[in-house]
Amino acid sequence: MSQTYEDLSSSQKRLVESDEQFQNIMAGPGSGKTQGLNFVKLHKQTFKFKYHFLQVLIDRIAFLINHKNIEPEKIKVLSFTRETVFSIKERLKERLERRIAIDVDVGTFHAHARQLVYQFGYSIGIPQTFKIADKGTRACDVLKECEYARDSIKAVLVDESQDCTDLMKEFIHQMSDGKMLTMVGDKNQRIFGSLLSEPSEILNLPEGSDCTLVENYRSTKFIIKSALHVINQGRMRVSQPAEIRNPDGVRVTIATPLNESSQAKYVVNEIQRICTNSGGLIAHQDCAILIRKRSTSHFFESALKKRFIPFEIVGADSFFKRMEIRDLTHYLKFSLNPTYLGFLNIVNSPEREIGDCQIRQIYELSREYNEHSFLDIITLIGNEVIGDFVPMARLKIKHIANICRDVLVKFNNKEPVSVILNFIISATEYETYISSLPDSIRRREYLAELRSLAANSSVLADERNEDSSSELERFIKYFDENNVDSNNGEKGKRVTISTIHCAKGIEWPCVFIVSCNEGCIPLSINRSLEEERRLLYVAMTRSRFFLYIIAPLYRSMGLQQPSQFLTDLPASLCTVGKPILNDELWKMLADTLDNTMSTQRKRSHSLVDE
């Protein structure tokens, strides 16, 4: 077990070894010295983590145990996500003896609250059957009224404190009353709309509790200066880190492709260009595509699949595997090619309570009357010509048949895909259906994106240049091609597609911020312009070296303006089009990544930039 802190900077060491009871550490992006890349397997998903801010937090815990003689089990570490909790626990096992590390009480806010109520709630009359939704307020009651609960805590450490809700801040206040408290956060990375005032104000921390980590270990000078320019155009005023430990780097790349499809092609081309020419310095897993709206991932999913580039999606689902997308495209496919298997995909979407016995009877009738198409079969059933069905079932089957026949008529009349799709949504009352399901807001978001794609399906025609196929057939083919599971590479070696919110706390050498237009960044429905500005600041500071900000000229709503946050970005900080790749750039990249060109680059000395 190491008890020294030689890897820390002077400012980090000062904060770790502080005797102050309260510390509110302002830690900007990349200011906690990051070490190593972890792949954490949790709930059958793989999460990629950098140890953002955790260096100081971990060493502070070690200091409290080793030098302040605080029992590990009485140190409470609070974080927002289970993934970060897992990372902290793993780091503690590296930093301390295992038997000591596993005793440190690390958990999410919810886990700590639940544990307190279960362990001590009985002493103040809280039944074991309390509602889980009440655990936050109940936990505060326990801490107020139960001395045993308070005595179980001697030190509290909080990660990402800027995103605490009022209830979380009250919980921290009750936990840390008379204890040692260390909070680590950055007010300029508040992107969840929950914080109305500073943690130090809510917790009534004494003057002098605020302290700052002044170094930046992550990004190049061009990235830091560009991000500061963006954030300083708003009400926030952020000073430049006292020391940026990396080279100048390459200027931020601003690109304005024609549309969202061209944007995806541009991103994939740049990923291939950089990975191919970097000689091993940059691989697929070092690249991230950051999206503002989770429903817009499909452009990049499709473009990456075409180039056989493996990818993973964080903070969103694959667009093509969403229930809403598959349900509605199945209606289109069945109408043009009615089969029994196709019927199974739509018969209870939305739910119609047509049971297995009735479906089996439909199948038997299709074999008996095999001279008819399957659409004819369900039409005959609906019209009471064949089969033995109860009236309600016949009515429902007839409704499906009528919808699909109307779709076929519209197809033959060459009506636009958007008209046909909207007809299906209306005829099936699909919007009402998904509004009754859990997570209805997200479902409606994906439905809106599908409608937008249908309204702009000419983009797909331009991609394929298949004049012989109809607009609807190209639309269906687009979904068929992208809904196929393929070998998506080894875990941990994939390009990341992530929402900006879920990218918080993670870093990559190469980052693409896409659709940086008005209406997207800032999002038109978000009333907090400053929160949207902070969101772009967070996105920009995820990058270590290559940073692309892309604003298509046209999106689904028509001609689009670049984000107002990019206004007046100095020409000295950015370049247009794409960066020039040369030996000087690769040397700066190697210095930034703490690699050496001689061992990492397997490439010709004279590089021809593509």
For the stretch 539-578, pLDDT in tens is 999 999 999 999 999 887 778 899 999 988 999 999 998 9
**Among 607, 595, 588, 600, residue whose Cα is nearest residue 223:** 588
Model confidence at 23, pLDDT cuts 50, 70, 90, reads confident
Q: Residue 302 corresponds to which amino acid?
A: S
Q: What does the pLDDT average to over 177-204?
A: 68
Q: pLDDT at residue 216 above 80?
A: no
> By three-state DSSP, how is residue 252 classified?
strand
Model confidence at 458, pLDDT cuts 50, 70, 90, reads confident
> What is the percentage of the chain residues whose pLDDT exceeds 70?
82
- Determine whether 178 is exposed, middle or buried from the number of CB atoms within 10 Å of its CB (0-12, 13-18, 19+): exposed
Note the pTM of the prediction, 2 decimals. 0.80
The Cα–Cα gap between 200 and 203 comes to: 5
Q: Which architecture, in CATH terms, is 252-310+486-581?
A: 3-Layer(aba) Sandwich (3.40)
**Among 90, 111, 114, residue whose Cα is nearest residue 102:** 90
Q: What is the CATH T-level fold of the domain 10-216, as seen in this structure?
A: Rossmann fold (3.40.50)
- pLDDT tens for each residue of 61-78: 999 999 999 999 999 999
Find tokens 């028509």 and name the residue.
558
- For 156-220, the DSSP string reads EEEESGGG--HHHHHHHHHHHTTSEEEEEE-GGG--SS--SS-HHHHTTPPTT-EEEE-EE-SS-
Model confidence at 599, pLDDT cuts 50, 70, 90, reads very low
Q: pLDDT at residue 448 above 50?
A: yes
The Cα–Cα gap between 156 and 61 comes to: 10
Mean pLDDT of the chain: 83
Domain 321-480 in the same topology as domain 10-216: no
- 61 near 157, Cβ under 8 Å? yes
Q: How many CB atoms lie within 10 A of CB 337?
A: 12
Each domain of the chain, given as residue ranges in start order, spans: 10-216, 252-310+486-581, 321-480
Q: pLDDT at residue 269 above 90?
A: yes
More confident call, 208 vs 185:
185
Element (H, E) at 547: strand 543-550
User: Of 29-33, 71-75, 189-193, where does mean pLDDT reach its minimum?
Assistant: 29-33
Contacts of residue 229, Cβ cutoff 8 Å, sequence gap at least 6 = 568, 569, 570, 573
- 14 near 5, Cβ under 8 Å? no
- 570 near 229, Cβ under 8 Å? yes
Phi and psi at 322, nearest 5°, equal -65, 140
- The per-residue pLDDT for 382 is 93
- The per-residue pLDDT for 206 is 58
Q: pLDDT at residue 191 above 90?
A: no
- The per-residue pLDDT for 602 is 38
Q: What is the CATH T-level fold of the domain 321-480, as seen in this structure?
A: PCRA; domain 4 (1.10.486)
Could you tell me whether strands 243-244 and 215-216 are parallel, antiparallel, or unpaired per DSSP bridges? parallel
How far is residue 542 CA from its own chain's centroid? Answer: 13
Contacts of residue 4, Cβ cutoff 8 Å, sequence gap at least 6 = none
> By three-state DSSP, how is residue 521 classified?
coil
Element (H, E) at 46: strand 45-50
